[in-house]
Amino acid sequence: MSTRYHRLARETPAYAWWRLPAAGFLTGAIWMGGGLVLLLVTLILFAASSDLDKFKAWADASGDLDLQHLEFFVLDMLSIVILIPALLLAVLVTGPRPIGYLSSVAGRLRWRWLGRTAVMAAVVFVATIGGAIALAEATEPAEVSAPEVSTRAIVAIGLILLLTPFQAAAEEYVFRGYVMQLVGSWSRFAFIPVIVSVPLFVAGHTYDLWGLVDVGIFGLMAAVVTIRTGGLEAAIAAHVANNVVLFVLDALGMISATDSSGAGPLDLIPTVISSAVFLVWVEWAARRQGLQRTRPPIPPPPPPPAPMWPPPPYAYWWPPVQPAPLPQWYPPPQPWHPAPQPVAPGPPQQAWAPPANVPAPPALHPGTPDYPGDLPPGWGQERR
């Protein structure tokens, strides 16, 4: 029976109940260690520039992804990006292996499918978010600001395009990869890891109520599309497209990507439409392409040979030695014949002698039956 994405860690011959929990604790330890290194490097850089007040301001606003301070934005993004090596290293150490099954049922990240879904996600989210802003500008012009193109905005857009794919992939590997496979190892029903992963994904964001609901809708779509496609590619593409569009609009001064204080129920409409359209489109594309959505069953490893008991006598002294093969030029064996053995001489043989006391035959005279003269010529000689 084939294995779906959320059961990849469970349905493997090397599964052990403690591996994924241990990988989670080790991921947190590595991530905290990497964050501490990042913090020390940042402190050294701010101290070298004699601007420790800016370091304190970044520490107070850490995690806000504020594009008004590009150095704060870069540091916040890097603190999320280091989750990728932390998680992959932890899974590599504890298992289950290979770590490629954290990406998809194919055991790797399917780059061609990722590129295709990235194009689809860009079309969907640019159309829905752009349409929502255009509609808001047409109905309430005061709510939307005009774009401000400047050198700082261009630099910000470059940083967004450089860092956002890694930031989005890190969140997908943690919430749609590790969490769903961890919960999927406890239950074979797909809806349980989906339901568990969405609240955890929402808890990782610091928005107001409607902003958190918006994040929950997106997280639900990403979890479902991960199960349906058997991998993280479509979820990563949607996450990258959504964040890039919002961050670029924020860099241009049109909206605030991280401020949801004035959001309401109507602001959920673009997310609902984009999530539904993207989910349907990806499902259709996966069916049309014949995408691999499950992993074939892995045969169990062969059992080790049973030890011989009792062991043979030679096992106590030395292993059996196999004779070396003869070279090709070696002459073929010849048939063996035993050497002739000498025969001991027996007693000497005596010559034959007529028995004694035997009367002599009667003399032949003419007229007797056997007389040669009365027979035809040559008959007597033949008889003799």
Number of structural domains (the chain) is 1
Say which range, 43-47, 50-54, 135-139, 254-258, has the weakest mean pLDDT: 50-54
pLDDT at position 129: 93
**Residues spanned by the domain of 22:** 5-289
On whether the CB atoms of residues 293 and 230 are closer than 8 A, the answer is yes
DSSP result, 228-268:
HHTBSHHHHHHHHHHHHHHHHHHHTTS--SS--TT--GGGG
- Checking if the pLDDT of 278 tops 80, the result is yes
137 vs 154, which has greater pLDDT? Answer: 154
**Residue 320 is assigned to a structural domain of this protein:** no
Say which range, 14-18, 288-292, 350-354, has the weakest mean pLDDT: 350-354
pLDDT at position 240: 97
On whether the CB atoms of residues 26 and 93 are closer than 8 A, the answer is yes
pLDDT at position 58: 75
- Checking if the pLDDT of 379 tops 60, the result is no
**Residue 369 is assigned to a structural domain of this protein:** no
**Residue 216 is assigned to a structural domain of this protein:** yes
pLDDT at position 321: 64
Q: Can you tell me the distance from the alpha carbon of 229 to that of 360, in angstroms, rounded to the nearest whole number?
A: 129
In the chain, the percentage of residues whose pLDDT exceeds 90 is 53
Confidence of residue 383 (pLDDT cuts 50, 70, 90): very low
CB contact set of 72 (below 8 Å; sequence gap of 6+):
57, 58, 61, 62, 64, 66
Average pLDDT over all residues of the chain = 85
Average pLDDT score over residue span 174-191:
95
Q: Can you tell me the distance from the alpha carbon of 207 to that of 187, in angstroms, rounded to the nearest whole number?
A: 31
**Residue 78 is assigned to a structural domain of this protein:** yes
pLDDT at position 45: 85
**Residue 237 is assigned to a structural domain of this protein:** yes
pLDDT at position 12: 85
The percent of the chain in helix, strand and coil, each rounded to the nearest 5, is 60, 0, 40
Half-sphere exposure of 10 (CA within 13 A, CB side): 17
**Looking up tokens 């001489």, which residue turns up?**
345
- Checking if the pLDDT of 369 tops 80, the result is no
**Residue 302 is assigned to a structural domain of this protein:** no
H/E/C letters for each residue in 142-195?
HHCCCCCCCHHHHHHHHHHHHHHHHHHHHHHHHHHHHHHHHHHCCCCCCHHHHH
| pLDDT per position as a tens digit, 296-351 | 987 777 777 777 666 655 555 555 667 776 666 556 667 777 777 777 777 777 66
- Checking if the pLDDT of 57 tops 90, the result is no
Average pLDDT score over residue span 207-232:
95
**Residue 358 is assigned to a structural domain of this protein:** no
**Residue 129 is assigned to a structural domain of this protein:** yes
